[in-house]
Amino acid sequence: MPLSTQAVVERKPLGAGQPTPATPGDGVQLRLVPCPALHLPIQLTSFVGRALELTAVIELLDSARLLTLTGPGGCGKTRLAFRAAEELAGSYADGVWCVELAGLEDAALLPQTVAHAFGAREQPGRSAVDAVAEHLQLKRMLLVLDNCEHLVAASARLAITLLRACPHLRILATSREALRIDGEQIFLVPPLALRPLPTHLRTAATERRSAGAGNWQTISESEAVELFVARASARVPTFRLTAENAPAVAQICQHLDGLPLAIELAAARINVLPVEQLATRLDHDLRLLVGGSRTTLRRHQTI
Ligand SMILES: Nc1ncnc2c1ncn2[C@@H]1O[C@H](COP(=O)(O)OP(=O)(O)O)[C@@H](O)[C@H]1O
Ligand SMILES: [Mg+2]
């Protein structure tokens, strides 16, 4: 999703001879500047919560050149990485790029896959790794290597080579397992919060949902419930969190330990089972989750 321009508000002291700005406020000028490319997959669903984790990831990437988001499958590593990368796009002159590795089975093809993503050509006597390293050598870029878990050793080798050859490159990897190379910073992605966040971290949407919620207010404020409600109401547009169904929704989210993938799969069953029944049946059989969303399942078949 390359963004070509971005409106930037600049505040400058106006000296003698400078034109009066046409924009509101003294000394404020609006200008369009080129915005670095954002080469990330476009998400089809809304993003929920993660204020604390986003801050942590952004801060860690300030000092670490390789940050790996780890955690069990479906805990939200990929989604958090993409969101952090979006937030950071403006900090990298050559933008943010993602190479998606979930579908790549042969570790030997990793360098070619990355080279292909950048349009870096292999030539006789120059390997794919060298081609990528040369291509990225002077770039100020954040590279997201997504879903490295099944190619950990190959991803580690590639990361070492690129980080050594490209001094301004940073890598944000997602993997169930750490890459375990020097300089790697690891961030364990926690499940979605089951308790409300402190007031200063709440979003406007959270505040709206909790307004007038009475004694189930605390349930409705948690990120896990927010995700369930977002996905359930996408499936059944009339679905709302009410005083009656809130305890069952909270029970589902708690039972699924706040795992985003499992919450999405449960919410996808809402058109066949009322939440109260879903909560009771999930207590006995987690296999109920299978058969919900086709997109979600395809990406997590192995979990
Ligand atoms: N913060 C979030 N907001 C909205 N959806 C999320 C969030 N975190 C995860 N998800 C959704 O949950 C599912 C699993 O998340 P994903 O990032 O793919 O997990 P992982 O990479 O750890 O296997 C995906 O469908 C993703 O869109
Ligand atoms: Mg992932």
Task: Give the residue, out of 52, 77, 79, with the most ligand 1 atoms within 8 A of its beta carbon, to mutate for a pocket test.
Answer: 79
Spell out the residues 6+ positions from residue 296 whose beta carbon is closer than 8 angstroms to its own.
261, 264, 265, 268
d(CA 16, CA 11): 16
Q: For residues 193 and 53, is the Cβ–Cβ distance under 8 A?
A: no
Token pair for residue 22?
């046409």
Cβ-contact 288, 269 below 8 angstroms: yes
Q: Of all atoms in ligand 1, which is nearest to the CA of residue 263? A: 12
Q: Whose CA is nearest to atom 24 of ligand 1?
A: 261
Tens of pLDDT, residue by residue, the chain (303 residues): 333 344 333 333 333 333 333 344 445 555 554 556 789 999 999 999 999 999 999 999 999 999 999 999 999 999 999 999 999 999 999 999 999 999 999 999 999 999 999 888 878 888 999 999 999 999 999 999 999 999 999 999 999 999 999 999 999 999 999 999 999 999 999 999 887 655 555 555 555 555 444 445 666 789 999 999 999 999 999 999 988 899 899 989 989 999 999 999 999 999 999 999 999 988 777 777 765 555 554 555 544
Q: Which fold has domain 38-188?
A: Rossmann fold (3.40.50)
Ligand 1 pocket test: pick from 68, 227, 261, 294 the residue with the most ligand atoms within 8 Å of its Cβ: 261
Residues with CB under 6 A from ligand 1: 45, 47-50, 71, 73-79, 174, 227, 260-261, 264, 296
Residue 39 bridge partners (DSSP): 97
Alpha-carbon gap, residue 111 to 72, rounded angstroms: 26
Phi first, then psi, for residue 276 (nearest 5°) are -60, -45
Ligand 1 atom closest to 295 (CA): 25
Specify the ligand 1 atom closest to the Cα of 50: 1
Domains of the chain by residue range: 5-34, 38-188, 199-299
